[in-house]
Amino acid sequence: MLSGVAGMLETLWALGRQLAWQGVATPFILRRHASEYPSLAKAKAAVLAVGVAGYGNVARGARKILDLLPAEPIEPQGSS
């Protein structure tokens, strides 16, 4: 389980770097490598908001990892 959490933290770190390189403002630039967090609680506290769209294998896998965190699911709303 911890390897999945570490992988997700690394993904958020990489996403922040990629978006910053593209000139996109992102709060994920503040994320650190998983190994830089002194505890799982500190790592959880550093995660802000993550959106997962889709119903395929990748989306289901991401949601499994995110379910490990105290998260509040928000369903998409149609545009009017």
Tell me how far CA of residue 51 lies from CA of 2, 38, 73, in angstroms: 21, 25, 9
Taking a C-beta distance cutoff of 8 angstroms, is the pair 5, 35 a contact?
A: no
What is the mean pLDDT of the segment spanning 48-58?
A: 79
Predicted confidence band of residue 79 (pLDDT cuts 50, 70, 90): low
* 56-69 pLDDT, tens digit each: 888 888 888 888 87
Predicted confidence band of residue 1 (pLDDT cuts 50, 70, 90): low
Q: Which among 66, 35, 36 is positioned nearest to 50, based on CA atoms?
A: 66
User: How far apart (Å, rounded) are the C-alpha atoms in residues 19 and 4?
Assistant: 22
What is the mean pLDDT of the segment spanning 52-59?
A: 84
Predicted confidence band of residue 80 (pLDDT cuts 50, 70, 90): low
